[in-house]
Amino acid sequence: MAKSAGHAGDAEGRAVRSDPARPSKGTSRCFAQAWSSEGKQVLIQAIGAVLPAALAVALSPFPLIGVVLILTGRHGRRNGLLFAAGWITGLGIVATLVVVVFGGADDPDSTSSAIADWGRVFAGVALIVLGARKWWKRPRAGDEAEAPRWMASLGGATAGRALLLGALLSGANPKNLVLTASAAASIVEAGAHDVDLALAVIAFVLIGSCTVLGSVVIHLSGGQRAASFLDSISQFMVTNSLVITVIVLVLLGANILGDGLTGLGR
């Protein structure tokens, strides 16, 4: 009798295990692999979409000049780290806000997508006009270019000012606002969600911060040679800041304008 009960139990167990309503381990594994593959493709596409804007943010001359002046000033190590922290925080906050606002832009027919595309058109035109305006108003031969006033006291900046300046230069700078907003909208339109969305935003922030973070790491890990190297980079940026800024503004403006027109034409 006990044996019969045991056989019945085994039969029931086999019936439960073979229940078609329950996904088998093989099915779950195949689903996970398919999801993982699709997730990777979306993530790669999102990172590729934000790469130009992130590099444009990273190559901005003034933040790099500013962090070098802070690093070579009083309390350079502390203030350099705080400046970098503020820079990353500013970029991260703006990107996150845009992602939240344009959360439905992955649907090409949605209002959010249309707003994002029109925003790109206006932003692209604004960047091109700003680049042309800067070139038109460039110092002529024999004129001495004036450095921004906020650079004058960077060497003796307090901890709070270094942190705030980093956040303002990344998050409140009009050019960075446009670039960050465009990049964040591209992440949403690529179809990134949840973890992929967070990873794409983090990738944008890290790429956009690579020159600032690189300067801090070089200063902390090197000695006098590192200081001389950073100073030479700063001097190069000061000398060529106008040309670099104009090229970045015009090329990125044309790219963003083209993306916006392409989106409106879908």
Count CA atoms within 13 Å of residue 11 on its CB side. Answer: 6
**pLDDT digits 0-9 by tens, 225-241:** 777 888 888 778 777 77
> Which one-letter DSSP state was computed for residue 73?
S
Q: Quick one: what percent of the chain has pLDDT higher than 70?
A: 77
Q: What is the mean pLDDT of residues 73-77?
A: 80
Q: Which of 208, 241, 236, 228 is nearest to 71 (CA)?
A: 228
**pLDDT digits 0-9 by tens, 209-226:** 999 999 899 888 876 777
pTM for this predicted structure: 0.74
Answer whether 179's CB lies under 8 Å from 187's CB.
no
pLDDT of amino acid 148: 61
Q: Which of 232, 197, 198, 203 is nearest to 215 (CA)?
A: 232
